[in-house]
Amino acid sequence: MVDAESVVSTEETPLVKEKSAPAATKTQNQWGNMWCIGSLFGQPIVIGPDICTLVCTYSFTIIPCVLFLAFGVADDSGTWMWATSVTVVVFTILALLFATLSDPGVLRIGINCESSEADPEDGKAGDKRRKKRYCNMCKLYQPPGSQHCRACKCCISGFDHHCPWMGKCVGERNLCYFYWYLAMVVITPAFFMISSIFNTPSDSSNAVRLL
Active site residues: 163
Residue 149 pairs in a beta bridge with 154
Of the residues 96, 138, 166, 184, which one makes contact with Zn ion according to CB under 5 A: 138
Residue 88: strand, helix, or coil: helix
Binding mask 178-197 for Zn ion (x = CB under 5 A): --------------------
* 151 belongs to the binding site for Zn ion (CB under 5 A): yes
Please, which residue, 108 or 206, has the CB nearer to Zn ion?
Answer: 108
* 51 belongs to the binding site for Zn ion (CB under 5 A): no
Q: State the minimum distance, in angstroms, from the CB of residue 148 to Zn ion.
A: 3
State which H helix or E strand residue 20 sits in.
helix 2-28
Q: How far is CA 161 from CA 18, 51, 124, 193, 196, in A?
A: 33, 17, 31, 31, 35
Of the residues 169, 170, 175, 184, which one makes contact with Zn ion according to CB under 5 A: 169
Residue 43 pairs in a beta bridge with 40
Of the residues 149, 166, 175, 184, which one makes contact with Zn ion according to CB under 5 A: 149
The span of 13-21, 78-86, 108-116, 148-156 binding Zn ion (CB under 5 A) equals 148-156
* 152 belongs to the binding site for Zn ion (CB under 5 A): yes
**Left if phi > 0, otherwise alpha if psi is -120 to 50, otherwise beta: which for 110?**
left
Neighbours of 129 (CB within 10 A): 15
* 155 belongs to the binding site for Zn ion (CB under 5 A): yes
Neighbours of 109 (CB within 10 A): 18
Per CB under 5 A, residues contacting Zn ion are 135, 137-138, 148-149, 151-152, 155, 162, 169
